[in-house]
Amino acid sequence: MKFQLLVIPFVHLAFLPNLVSATVYTSHTQLTKRQYDIIIIGGGTAGSVLANRLTENSKVSVLVIEAGADTKDNLSVQVPFLGSTLPGTAVDWAFTSTAQSGLNGRTIPYARGLGLGGSSAINLLTYNRGSDDIWNSWASITGDSAWCWNNVKQYYLKSSSLVAPADGRDTTGQVDPSVHGSGPVEVSVPGFSLPIDTLVVQTSKQLGGRFKYNVDFNSGDFTGVGFMQSTVGGGERSDANTAYLQPVISRSNLDVLINTQVTKLVQSGTSKLGPIFNIVELGSTADKNNRSQVMALKETILSAGVIGTPQILQLSGIGPSASLKSLGITPLLDIADVGTGLVDHPMVANYFQVSSNGTWDDVLRDNSLLGSTLGQWQSSRQGLFVDSPANTQGYQRLPAGSSALAGIADPAAGSKSAHTELIFVDGFAPFGELTQPATGNYLTVLTAVVSPTSRGSVTLASTDPFAKPLINPAVLTTNFDILAMVQAMKDAQTFLAAAPWQQDFKPVAFGDLANAKTDADKATFARNNAVTVNHPAGTARMSSASSKSGVVDSQLRVKGAQFLRVVDASVFPTIPECHIQAAVYIVAERAADLIKTAYGL
Ligand SMILES: Cc1cc2nc3c(=O)[nH]c(=O)nc-3n(C[C@H](O)[C@H](O)[C@H](O)COP(=O)(O)OP(=O)(O)OC[C@H]3O[C@@H](n4cnc5c(N)ncnc54)[C@H](O)[C@@H]3O)c2cc1C
Ligand SMILES: *[C@@H]1O[C@H](CO)[C@@H](O)[C@H](O)[C@H]1NC(C)=O
Ligand SMILES: *[C@@H]1O[C@H](CO)[C@@H](O)[C@H](O)[C@H]1NC(C)=O
Ligand SMILES: *[C@@H]1O[C@H](CO)[C@@H](O)[C@H](O)[C@H]1NC(C)=O
C-alpha cells in the first residue's frame, strides 16, 4: 500500500495555525495539509451542522470529507416538489435492502443522500421536532438528563426558524409561530394551496378525537391532523448544505474534500482509556494502492449516516469481533451492537381514485404542463413546485384496546407520541410498487407505523469499502408493526369516508386495495406494497455509561475508544414517532456544544 502521509506522533492539545484560506478539494491527492484538529466524516445533515459550529472558533481547524459532490446548484435538489424524483439518481447512494421476510421476500430501494447536505438534500422536507416524550425517554434510556426536552429545546430553537410560505398568505390557525426558533434551516407551511387541504382540515374538525385538528405538531404534541411543515424557504429547499455549510464555506479554518470516501479509520496508538483511531484513510475508487491518510489531532467524528457510520466502524475493526474475524478483518475493539438495531418507519401507499379533477396527476403526465409549472417556479418561486408532494399530515395513537398493544409495552414514548401516521397527497404519489396510471385522478394516503418494534441490521458484505453493505431494515417483522399498519390503513378509509369528501372527490379505493376488505387482506396488501419512509436510525445507539449494550455513551463517544465520536441518526436510542431530520439537527447542535466544552473552545 502506498500512502501519501505517514503516521505522525499523536499530539492532543496542540492547535494548528490556520494560515491558508478555506478550500473545497475534489480529490485527496490535492490536500495540502495532512493534519486537522477535527475531522468530520460525512458532509451530510449532521456533518454540515458540526462544520459550521466547530469553525466558529477560528483557532480550530476542521476537515470535512464527503463521498458525494456539492448538491447546491442541482435544480432537482432546489425545487421542493422534485424531491421525490431524486432517489435512484446521482445524489442517492441507491442502496437496496436484503430480501425482507415481512414483505413476502421483496427487496426495497433504500435511499440515502450522497453529496453535501446528505439526506437533507434529497428528503421530502417534512420538519417535525419530535414529541417532548421522545426526548424525555432518551434522557431516561441514557441516564443523562441533558437529553430531556427542556434541555435540548435550545438546540431546536437554534437550528431552524419559521418563514412565510411562498404565497405569503395569512397562515393564522395553520401554524403557531411562538413554538419556532431562530436558526438557519428555514421552515414553512405549504406555499401553494391544494383543493384537498381544506377537506383534510374540515374532516379533522368534524371527526375530532384521534383525528382532532392540531395547529402545530412542533408544539410537542404529535397527535392529530394538521398542516405539513417543510424545510422550504422562499419556495426553495433549505437543507444542511445551504443553511449551515455554504454560509461558512470560506472560513479559513475549514477545508472540505468532496468526491472522496473514507475507507477506514486506522489506530495510531492506545491510551489508558482505550485505542485511539485518529487516522482517517481516504480513497475515491476500489484501487487499494490509491489511498491517503489524514490525522485528527483532537477528534474524529463519524457523521456518515445510519449506513455509512456502522460500515466504516466495522471496516476499521470496531464491531462484533466474531463476525469481523469471519470476514478477515482484525478486530480492534469489540462492540457487539455496531450495526445492530436498524429501525425504520414502514410505509404503504394507499391509492384512491377520485371524481374531481382537482389533483396534480396531469403535471406528471403532461410534459408541457410539467415545463410550465417548472417555469413558474424558476421565474417567480410560485406554484405547485414550491411544496413537497404533500400539504397535510396526521399522527394517531392506536384506539384504546387495540389488539396491536395486547401483551406488549406501549412502544410509543408517551401520550404525545403517536403509533401511526397519515400523509395526504393530492395525486398518485410514486412511493410504492405501483406506477401512475395513464389516465384518471387520484389521492394517495401514505400510511406509516411511527413507533415500530421491528429491528434489523447493517453488516458488511465484503471488506471492500466500495462494496454496498447488507441492509436489513426488517420491515413489518413484528406483530405490532403489521397490526398497527392495518389500523392506519383503516384510519385512512375512515377519514376519506367523511362527509367533506363526498361532494367532489368521492374517493374509491384503487387497485388491489379495493379488494382488501378484511384485516388479513389489508395485511397482505401491506406486505406486498410497503416500503419505508427512509427514516433509518439506531445502528450506533447511545446508551448509559454502565450499559453493556449500545455503541456510544450519552456524549456520543464510542465506548472503549478515545477521541472518536458518532454524530448522526445512528446514535438515536429509539426512533422518534415522526419524521426524523429535525432530531438530527438537534443532536448535531448539542454535539457541537459537547465538543466545544470538551476542548474549551
Ligand atoms: C428519500 C428520503 C426522504 C426523506 N424524507 C424525510 C422527510 O420528509 N422528513 C424528515 O424529517 N426526514 C426525511 N428523511 C430522513 C432524513 O433526511 C435523515 O434522517 C437525515 O437527513 C439523516 O442525517 P444524517 O446526518 O444521519 O445522515 P446523512 O444526511 O445521510 O449524511 C451522511 C453523509 O455521509 C456521507 N458518507 C457516507 N459514507 C461515507 C464515507 N464512507 N465517506 C465519506 N462520506 C460518507 C454521505 O454521502 C452523506 O452525505 C428522508 C430521507 C430520504 C433519503
Ligand atoms: C442532479 O440531480 C439529478 C437527479 O434529479 C441527477 O440526475 C443529476 O446527476 C444531479 N446532478 C449532479 C451534478 O449531481
Ligand atoms: C488516485 O485517485 C485520485 C482521485 O480519484 C485520482 O485523481 C488520481 O489520479 C489517482 N492516482 C493514481 C495514481 O491512480
Ligand atoms: C376540471 O373540471 C371543471 C368542472 O368540470 C372544468 O371547468 C375544468 O376545465 C376542469 N379542469 C381540467 C384541468 O380539466
> In this structure, are residues 535 and 580 in contact, taking their beta carbons and an 8 Å threshold?
yes
Residue 331 has what DSSP assignment?
Answer: P
Q: Give residue-wise pLDDT tens across range 90-149.
A: 999 999 999 999 999 999 999 999 999 999 999 999 999 999 999 999 999 999 999 999
| Backbone phi, psi, residue 413, to 5° | -70, -15
> In this structure, are residues 218 and 386 in contact, taking their beta carbons and an 8 Å threshold?
no
Rounded Cα gap, residues 306 and 569, in angstroms: 6
Rounded Cα gap, residues 588 and 25, in angstroms: 24
The pLDDT assigned to 22 comes to 60
β partners of residue 182: 161
Q: Is 44 in the pocket of ligand 1 (CB under 6 A)?
A: yes
| Backbone phi, psi, residue 40, to 5° | -105, 120
Q: Is 469 in the pocket of ligand 1 (CB under 6 A)?
A: no
Give the distance (Å) from ligand 2 centre to CA of residue 75: 8
> In this structure, are residues 295 and 7 in contact, taking their beta carbons and an 8 Å threshold?
yes
Percentages (nearest 5) of helix, strand, coil residues in the chain: 30, 20, 45
> In this structure, are residues 425 and 389 in contact, taking their beta carbons and an 8 Å threshold?
yes
Angle at 405 between CA 403 and CA 406, to 5 degrees: 65
- Ligand 2 pocket: which of 91, 116, 123 to mutate (most atoms <8 Å of CB)? 91
The pLDDT assigned to 543 comes to 98
Ligand 2 contacts (CB < 6 A) are 69, 74, 76, 85-86, 89-91
Ligand nearest to the backbone CA of 29: 3
Q: Is 581 in the pocket of ligand 1 (CB under 6 A)?
A: yes
- Known binding-site positions: 262
Q: DSSP letters along 306-324, please?
A: HHHHHHHHHHTTEE-HHHH
Rounded Cα gap, residues 534 and 484, in angstroms: 18
Q: Which of 585, 562, 587 is nearest to 573 (CA)?
A: 587
Burial string for 6-35 (b: 16+ CB within 10 Å, else e) reads eeeebeeeeebebeeebbbbeebeebebeb
**Amino acid letter for position 425:** V
Residue 108 has what DSSP assignment?
Answer: -
Q: Give residue-wise pLDDT tens across range 361-372.
A: 999 999 999 999
Catalytic residues: 535, 579
Specify the residue with its C-alpha closest to ligand 1, atom 38.
308
Specify the residue with its C-alpha closest to ligand 1, atom 13.
123
- Ligand 1 pocket: which of 48, 86, 110, 119 to mutate (most atoms <8 Å of CB)? 119
Give the distance (Å) from ligand 1 centre to CA of residue 410: 28
The pLDDT assigned to 338 comes to 98
Across the chain, which distance is largest between two alpha carbons, in Å? 75
Specify the residue with its C-alpha closest to ligand 3, atom 14.
290
Cell of 281: 484513510
Give the distance (Å) from ligand 3 centre to CA of residue 265: 20
Rg (CA), the chain: 23
Cell of 486: 392495518
Regions in the chain scoring below 70 on pLDDT? 1-22
The pLDDT assigned to 273 comes to 85
Specify the residue with its C-alpha closest to ligand 2, atom 7.
89
- Known binding-site positions for FAD: 262
Specify the residue with its C-alpha closest to ligand 3, atom 11.
290
